[in-house]
Amino acid sequence: MDNSVDIEKIMENIREEIVKSGKDKQPLSFKDVESTERNGDLDEAIDYISYNYEVQPYAPLGGNKIAVFFKKVIRKITGFFVLPVVRQQNTLNYYYYRVAETIGEVKSDNEELKKRAELLEKRVKVLEEKAGK
């Protein structure tokens, strides 16, 4: 009775299933995966951050001509202080976005690996049962 397990044959079967299911043609980037394929709150947060991480230094001016003039003067006077802070905040926000995106990728990869591990465990169990008969 031969109790050996042919790993190469198992891997070939897995590769064939991947090709048959079309998973080999699916996008590899997390941002290319539609939101419905990701998980809830994390997806919403990543989507929001991806569009809103850049802070604008100034809001549009409104009011009468005199008020707008004084607001412009104040902006000129305070610009040396405001603009570097806004640039730093935008940089920080961008890196927060990249971290959130990476967390989402890792979470997605972990779920895929869990599914593959379960499939392999089932196959090994079936092979062990066949070998035991």
Q: Is residue 97 included in any domain, yes or no?
A: yes
- Angle CA(120)–CA(125)–CA(128) in degrees, nearest 5? 125
CA distance 116 to 14: 9
pLDDT in tens, 41-64: 777 888 888 888 788 888 888 889
Q: Is residue 3 included in any domain, yes or no?
A: no
DSSP notation for 56-94: PSSPPP-S-HHHHHHHHHHHHHHHHHHHHHHHHHHHHHH
* pLDDT surpassing 50 at residue 35: no
> 104 lies in which domain range?
27-132
Domains in the chain, number? 1
pLDDT in tens, 7-32: 788 888 888 887 777 766 665 555 55
Q: Is residue 6 included in any domain, yes or no?
A: no
Instruction: Please state the pTM of the whole predicted model.
Output: 0.49
Q: Is residue 9 included in any domain, yes or no?
A: no
Which pLDDT belongs to residue 9? 81
